[in-house]
Structure formats: structure tokens, C-alpha cells
Amino acid sequence: MTIKKLFLSALSFLLIFSLVFVTIESVDPEPAFASGEFSCLSSDGKAYIFQSKWTGSDLVILRRDPSDSSQSSTTPDTVETFPSSAFQDHGDIAEINSLAMDKDGNMYAVYKTTGQEGYLYKLNYNSSGYGTATYLGYVGASDYNAATYYERTVDGELYKYLIIGRGYLAGDPRAIRLNSAGTSIEQNIDITITGGESNRKAKDFAWISDDAHPAGLDLIAYNRDASQLLGGSISHGGTPGGTETMTIATSVRASGVTGFTGTKDSGAAMYFGDGITYFMNNNNGRLWKYDATNDTSDVLNSGEWASTNFYMDNSSNTDGAGCGFGSTTEAIAVGSVSVTTSLNSCSSGTATSSIAVTASGSTMYVDVQYSTNGGSSWATLQNGNAISSGSTETYTTPAQSHSTTIQWQYRSGTSDPTSGSYTSATARTVDCPVIDTTGASSFGS
């Protein structure tokens, strides 16, 4: 057998192997965990307002789109339902409450038994059918009905927490440190409360997540019975990411804070990223606004407290949340991606092609596909992969033979883009002719 024939035999084997690999890759992998996240922003860049409602048999998640005039002015849309069967059996359910969300749209709630034992779940959004719930672990023994997300960065490392209590840090308050993905518990911290202003009548509280908060103030709550805004300052001890301790110093932030109608308490708090926290009047569902940018002292300041025209569902077994960024009144730039395709170096008559995807404005999730047969079928390289804002990730095809045209398409979103059309990216054609030992070009054949 001549050297040329040996080489062509080897090349044929390589091409067959490449085709087999492409066929395997064409089967979509399991969706990334991001598929369970809730969208934080509407299509026009305004922040959604979320509310949970326990009906006695289902946990219903309601969502107010600030820009959607077709929504009822008093009743938001139901965006997801979690039947009691979605949760493990920890005993008779008193309610599922203590709603919280992180900046990626991960949503959490506490399953509370009639014996007042609390169990933490991640609530996974499903675009079709009921939502699913992932059990994360035991919280503690208390009448838990309130929670907020909180995070901090130490030496460039981000740490995520859920702060959970009976109203504003009463009962047996806990800080649940999560892993970086928000999918498991790393530490259950028993919080030390000082200041004497924890109060179960302040039915919910929120983390003021950006620089709008007054100096030293991390948490805000509203005690309708006492007409007071309550503040909280968080401090840490121990080793970040190891064995930690947490202390929250509570205080009265303002008195004479009135306006609610009826006799019911404030039942939900939703924080965004512009210094605004909404507190819901359980009597009629109307949202009242606390504006941290106008909170300049420990008395009620002008512009610090006001009613809004937003309404949620009036209910007693309810809680609220927001993703902690964005605004309900001002659109922000929704995240986007930019892509660049390239053809890589030749090797024995073949070459790979790559696509570099850069996210901006938000963590973005991408689906990436390529085709080598003119678009008759597509192989999936990425399915719901997360790219943090400012980062670039590069994905590469298997080696393709000379003259093969590699077409690219992608789609993206601030949550896993499980539906929607693809956008084409620049196609690349392999230009790797094979030169045999006689000096004649075989051009891959």
C-alpha cells in the first residue's frame, strides 16, 4: 500500500469518527439548572414584582408586570403554581411562605409544618405545567413567615445568604448561606439579634441591596401596628465561607409611618435596585413605597414613605420578593450578547470552528448550535449555559473536513431561553486542502 493510500485511509477513519461525534452531540444535554430561574425583568427592562400565596393546597406565585396595561389593576398574573405534591412530606403543612429571590432569579420558600418546623426549598419555574421544588435542607423550629436574600463580597468572593424569621427577625431567625449557584446549603447560621426591635408584627423585611441604603443600614421592615419603619445592620464574624457568625443590630428607623387602610398588617416586602422597597397592605393589596434615597435620618423624612398605584393580591398567607435590582418605573438596559465566529488551524485536511460569546448588562444564558449540512439539522453545543456580564466563553465544533461549511446560530436571554427563534452568526468554510507526497493537491479526496 502506498503512503498516499495509507494517509487517505487514516483520513477516512478520522472523518467517520468526526461524524459519529457530531451525531452524539446533536442530542440535547440535560438543561442547565438555570432553567428553573424566574425572569427578573420584563421585555422592556422593568423589574417584575413577585408575590407568593398559600391556598391551603397550592403555593401560587403571582407576578406584576409594571408595564402591562392588560393586567388587572388589582390582581396580578399567576406565573407559576406549586401543588403540595411538589414538596416532600415533612408533616402536615401549616403554610409555605418566607419567599425570597436572588439576583439571578432563583426563588426560595420555607415549608412550615403545623409543628412549626421549617424546611427550605428552591422553587423551579417551568414554562409548561406545574413548577417543581428542590429540597435544600432543614432551617429550624419557628413560625417562619418572612425572608430576604442578602449577599456580600469578601476578597473578590461572593457569598449568598437567605435571612429567615418570624416576621422581622423574631422567633428563631436564621441565615442560610448558599453555595455560589444558590442550589445547596453550606451553613445554617443562628443569628444574634441586638437592639430589641425585632418584631413578629412587622410581617416581612427586605435587604437594601445597593448603594442607595443609608450608612450602616442593610435591612428595612414595616411594623404597621406601631407605625414604625425598622432597620437592621448586619455584621459578620468567623471565617467567610467557613464557620461564620452573624449579628443583626435592629433599630427604629422612623415613627409616625401611616397610610394603610383597614386593620390587617403589612404582609409582603419587595426590594428592587433603585432604593425602593414596596410593602403590601394586606387589607386591599396596595403597595406602599419606602425610598432609601430619602432616608437621611431616624425620623420620617420627606419622600421616604408614599403610596403607589401598584396592587397585588390581598391575602394573609402571603409574602413578596423582587430580584434586588432594576426599577419598576424606569427601564434599565436588558442584558445582551455579542458573538464572533472563527476558523481554527488546519490539521491533516480538517479544521474546527469556534464561536466566542460575550455577555453584557446581565448574566446571560445561551443556546448555541451549528450545522454542517446546510441547515438540514443542527447539533447543540450549549443549552442554557450561563455567562456572567463582561465575560466571554468560546465553544468549538469537532474537526470538519476540507470544503465543509459550518453554519452557526444562537439565542440568549436573562434566563434559560427554552423557546424563541435563533439568530444566525457568520458561517465558516474549512479551507484545508491535503497535499500528497507527489506534490499534487488532493483537496481532501
DSSP assignment of 68-110 equals -TTS-SS-PEEEEEEEGGGS---SSEEEEEEEEE-TT--EEEE
Where along the chain do its domains lie? 3-33+334-429, 44-321
pLDDT of residue 435: 74
Q: Return the SS3 of 353.
A: strand
pLDDT of residue 14: 46
pLDDT of residue 400: 96
Q: Nearest CA to 178 among 160, 200, 196, 157?
A: 160
**18 to 25, 412, 427: CA distances (angstroms):** 11, 28, 19
pLDDT of residue 3: 47
Domains 3-33+334-429 and 44-321 fall in the same CATH topology? no
pLDDT of residue 438: 61
Dist CA 41 CA 415 (whole Å):
10
Which stretches of the chain score pLDDT less than 70?
1-36, 210-211, 333-334, 436-445
Q: Nearest CA to 146 among 118, 114, 183?
A: 118
Q: For strand 192-194 and strand 244-255, is the pairing parallel, antiparallel, or unpaired?
A: parallel
pLDDT of residue 135: 98
pLDDT of residue 193: 97
Dist CA 44 CA 149 (whole Å):
25
**Residue entry with cell 406584576:** 64
Q: What is the CATH number of domain 44-321?
A: 2.130.10
pLDDT of residue 31: 30
Residues in the chain: 445
Sheet holding 117-124, edge to edge: 93-101, 107-113, 117-124, 132-141
pLDDT of residue 36: 65
At the top level of CATH, the class of 3-33+334-429 is mainly beta
pLDDT of residue 97: 95
Tell me the pTM: 0.70
Q: Is the dihedral of CA 122, 415, 212, 236 positive or negative?
A: positive
Q: What is the pLDDT of residues 34-86, one digit of tens each?
A: 446 898 888 788 899 999 999 999 999 999 998 887 777 777 999 999 999 99
pLDDT of residue 33: 34
